[in-house]
Amino acid sequence: MVLFLLIYSSSALADAKMNLGLEVYNNKAQCGVCHSLQSAGSQGQIGPNLDQLKPTIPITISAVTNGIGVMQSWEGILTEEEIEAVAYYIFNSTKN
Ligand code: HEC
């Protein structure tokens, strides 16, 4: 029973993180204007296709926090939690 609760609550947390990540991707930061990502239904062509790139969590955190090339930095615009969630969302949507 305790084990069940532990498993249940960690998967509920993981779902919450995926949902927040998708919300950041589609609404708060609108990453899809520039990036393609099948699971989010986005077809942006300005930045790399994330389904092909399959970025690790640290790569996305770094790109979003610091900016890269023409991509802006979201430091101070998104919270650390939101940046982590979008990185987590992209990683888990593309790793297969
Ligand atoms: C204005 C267009 C634009 C937006 C909006 C944008 N990106 Fe990017 N992104 C780019 C471009 C262009 C590059 C390639 C930069 C380079 O390599 O010079 C890039 C690169 C990346 C990379 C690869 C980094 C690497 O090290 O190769 C990731 C991951 C990424 N973006 C994720 C995101 C996420 C997540 C968001 C939303 C928070 C986002 N991008 C929003 C244009 C954008």
Q: Which has the closest alpha carbon to 23: 76, 15, 69, 58?
A: 15
Location of structure tokens 């609550």: 9
The mean of the pLDDT values for the chain is: 93
Least confident segment among 2-6, 26-30, 73-77: 2-6
Asked whether 42 and 26 are in contact (CB, 8 A), the reply is yes
Amino acid 63: pLDDT: 98
Give CA–CA dist 24/13, Å, rounded.
Answer: 17
Give CA–CA dist 91/96, Å, rounded.
Answer: 9
pLDDT digits (tens, 9 = 90+) for 7-43: 677 888 889 999 999 999 999 999 999 999 999 999 9
Residue type at 72 in one-letter notation: Q
Q: Tell whether ligand 1 has an atom less than 6 A from the beta carbon of residue 69.
A: yes
Q: Tell whether ligand 1 has an atom less than 6 A from the beta carbon of residue 46.
A: yes
Q: Identify which of 49, 62, 71 to mutate to test ligand 1's pocket (most ligand atoms within 8 A of the CB).
A: 71
